[in-house]
Every structure is written in C-alpha cells, then in structure tokens.
Amino acid sequence: MTSIFTRIISGEIPAAKVYEDALTLAFLDINPASRGHTLVIPKAELPGLLDLPPDLVAAMAHATQTVAQALMTALKPDGFNILQNNGQAAGQVVFHYHIHIIPRWAGDRAVGYWKPGSATADELRDLAALITAAVSKAGA
C-alpha cells in the first residue's frame, strides 16, 4: 500500500512544501503541534530508521538541519524539537520514515515530556554491556 507521503511526493496529494532535494522532501504538517511544524521525509518509501541506508540517513540529517535553520530564521522560535517515531508502540502512525521539526516558544506546551525514571549504577553498567555487545555484533 502506498503511503500518504508517497502520494504527496508524486503530487497526487497537495502539500505546502518548504524544501526539496534529490532524496528528501519537507512540508508543513497538516495537523501541527505548533506554527511551522514541518515533516522531513525521504522520497524512498521506507518504514523506519533501521530501513534507511547510511547515505539516506545522512541526506535526512542534512535536510533536517537545513529546514530547522530556516524555521529558526523565518519564525524566530525560542527553540525546536526534533521527533521521530519507529513502530506503532512508539507512536508511529504513517509507516514512511519521517522526522518532525516542531518550533517551540517558551510556555507553549506543544510537546509533552517523558516522566524521568531511575536506574542504579549496576543496572546501567549491565545494560551498557548488553548494548555494547549488540553493537559489536552489528559490526559498528
């Protein structure tokens, strides 16, 4: 099934585009968390971060940085959030990789924050060892 974002790329669905290059497209979110909320997507329809080849990860980072700088210049927010969800449990609704850039102004409450937990030094050490072993297996 073709994603709504692929339909935007093809021109089947209109969008308020703010940036485009050979590999990426950025456009304003139709359900914005704040004024200027922008989505950055790859033109290739890939569901999540782990599906992107390294060159496309780099292209997405470049497009995101370019658009974030433009938002800061044009709208003069106090800051911005970069959000990206992978998988339904993480809140992903459209399974075409995308990055949200959400301009923020002091006190706007546009995005909620997580409730900090706690961990002991032993738990952190054991978890770090587990993750480090997985990184080594991945050949990074």
At residue 4, the pLDDT reads 97
pLDDT at res. 140: 59
What CATH number did the domain enclosing 84 receive? Answer: 3.30.428.10
Task: Say how far apart CA 97 and CA 108 lie, in whole Å.
Answer: 27
Closest Cα to residue 55, out of 86, 32, 24? 24
According to the model, what pLDDT value does residue 72 have?
98
From 37, 96, 98, 100, the catalytic residue:
98
Total of domains in the chain? 1
Give the burial string for 95-125 (b: 16+ CB within 10 Å, else e): bbbbbbbbbbeeeeebeeeeeeeeeeeeeee
Q: What count of other Cβ atoms lies within 10 Å of the Cβ of residue 27?
A: 20
The domain of 120 spans 4-138
pLDDT of the residue at 27: 98
Annotation says 37 is catalytic: no
User: Mean pLDDT for each 10-residue chunk of the chain (140 residues)?
Assistant: 94 97 98 97 98 98 98 98 96 96 96 90 96 86
